[in-house]
Amino acid sequence: MTISVEKTPVPLAILISGRGSNMRAIGEAVAEGRVRGVVRVVVSNRADAAGLEWARQEGIETLVLPHQEAPTRDDYDRTLVDALKARGVRLVCLAGFMRLLGPRFCEAFPLAVLNVHPSLLPSFPGAGAQAQALEHGVKVSGVTVHFVTPELDAGPIVQQASVPVRDDDTCETLSARILVEEHRVYPEAIQRVIAGDWRVTGRRVVRAS
C-alpha cells in the first residue's frame, strides 16, 4: 500500500484525452464526499479535449501536455511526472487518457495510478473492448478498475462490475450501459484505494488483514 490513511483529502490528478465523462463522475463524487480527495489538476495530451472546459468551469487547474512535442515516450513521462509532483499529486486517475504510460511514470507513482476499462479484464484489453465483446459473442461484459503498469491493461484489479450483453445490442447500446457502470464503479474504487484497507498479493488486490 502506498497511499497512507489520512484525515486530509488525497491530492488527485485526472488525465484525459477527450470528453472526460469519467472525470466528471470523479469530480462529482469528490464534491459529494464519496471520494476523500481533491482534484489538483486535470491534464490532457490534447488541447481540444472537451473535458478541459468542464474542469475550467469547476475552477480546477488544467494543463495541456501534447505528446507530439516530446522526443520520446520516456521524455513525455518525465515531463508528466514532474508536473504532477510539483502539484503534490499522490493518486493519478486515467479517464480516457489515450497514451500508454511507461516504467518511469509507473515507478514514480507505485500502486497509485488507476484506470477504468470497459470490459472484464483480462478479456478484451486495448481499444474497442465493447466491439470485441460483441464479436466474441460473450453473454456478460463489464467494467474493470485496475492499477496501471507499463503493460497494457494488465495491472492488478481493484474492482469490477458485470454488464449483461443483450441479443439485440449494438456497440453503441452496450457501450452506453457499460459507461453507466464506469461512472458508478470508478469513484468507488478510488475511495477504496484512498481508504487504504487493502494490499496486493501477487496479482490480487485483497483486504488488508
Active site residues: 117
> Beta-carbon neighbour count of residue 67 at 10 Å?
16
Per-residue burial over 69-85, b = 16 or more CB atoms within 10 Å of its CB, e = otherwise: ebeeeeebbbebbeebe
Question: Which residues on adjacent β-strands are paired with residue 186?
Answer: none
Nearest-5° Cα angle at 73, 68 to 75: 90
| Integer Cα distance of 67 and 32 in angstroms | 33
